[in-house]
Amino acid sequence: MLSLTSKLLIMKLFKEIPSPSEHIEISKANNAKWFTWSDEILNKGKIIESEAQKYGPPDEIAFQTIDNARTYSVDIKRINPVALKLIKEISEAFNKLMLKDELFFFDKIISEYFSSEAFRFLLSSIRAVLCTRRSDNMGSLYPPLSTAKPNNTFPIHCDFYIPTQLWNIFDEVPEGNQGTSLLLPVDVLLNKVIKSIPNFPQEKAAHVKNLFKDKVVNNDHAYYDLFSTLHNKENWWVNDISREIDKYVITLKLNRGQGYMVNDRKWLHGRGYTADEVTIKRLHRLLF
């Protein structure tokens, strides 16, 4: 069987690159690989770039069925056939991409060769193509980010959207070592963090475990359920949980154009303290 890395390379979307020097140790310790766009995609990037300029900013869609659920998208019918053919090829590769425990990092996804506008247009287009292909309006999502005032953190969580694959690429990030990315394997949460807390209610532990097994039909339920279990101060165990998480959590600062791809049911993610406000363009995320 082909490894996921081989598949990823064969898909021709990305090429493997060495870890940036400041992240070598973390990457080695977690068996994490780094990728950037393949030369083929970079060469064809101009097609996406000019189509993005013609289209303008992506559309924003609100779902009637679920409160607060929104996504960026595009109207495929407005895309010229050459660009659409390329976008469909790229989307097909994403359709086949299914991470299990892997942790993939990315660099230079947004760069002087691939603008933030082109990237936003591409993600919106992939979302639209995958939804059509899957006959499911929530089969892929590019949800707008929740903004936040200065002096904030976002403790680790799973998004629990219906699609399980999460690709986060950073854009407007604060300077310096603030607003770091936090990552923790679900396996470590269940089998090390929670188990290390004496008297943690057994039925609660079983309930948390089940959240990862259930098929998600409405992301709100599982997301809030896990988040409040881990972080709601009314629970006597949250300080213990937080202390144990700190022992295992991967912390690294990812800058503009960098990011990660994980299976959202296998990895928790979050944001470390930032003194600056979180803008809507801090990161772009594709659920697929």
* Beta carbon of residue 108, minimum distance to Fe ion (angstroms, whole number): 23
Torsion of CA 250, 2, 16, 117, to 10 degrees: -80
How many Å apart are CA 180 and CA 19, to the nearest integer?
17
State which of residues 159, 244, 264, 276 lies at the interface with Fe ion (CB under 5 A): 159
Nearer Cβ to Fe ion, position 51 or 159? Answer: 159
Q: Is 264 one of the binding residues for Fe ion (CB under 5 A)? A: no
Residue nearest to Fe ion (CB): 159
Q: Which amino acid, one-letter code, is at 134?
A: R
Beta strands, E only, 65-103: 70-73
- CB-neighbour burial class of residue 61 (10 A; exposed 0-12, middle 13-18, buried 19+): middle
Which stretch, 94-102, 113-121, 158-166, 170-178, contacts Fe ion (CB under 5 A)?
158-166
* Beta carbon of residue 266, minimum distance to Fe ion (angstroms, whole number): 14
Question: Tokens in use for 121?
Answer: 């247009």
* Beta carbon of residue 234, minimum distance to Fe ion (angstroms, whole number): 22
Q: Which amino acid, one-letter code, is at 228?
A: S
* Beta carbon of residue 51, minimum distance to Fe ion (angstroms, whole number): 29
Which stretch, 62-70, 155-163, 177-185, 199-207, contacts Fe ion (CB under 5 A)?
155-163
- CB-neighbour burial class of residue 82 (10 A; exposed 0-12, middle 13-18, buried 19+): exposed
Nearer Cβ to Fe ion, position 48 or 241? Answer: 241
Length of the chain: 288
Nearer Cβ to Fe ion, position 90 or 186? Answer: 186
List interacting residues with Fe ion (CB under 5 A): 159
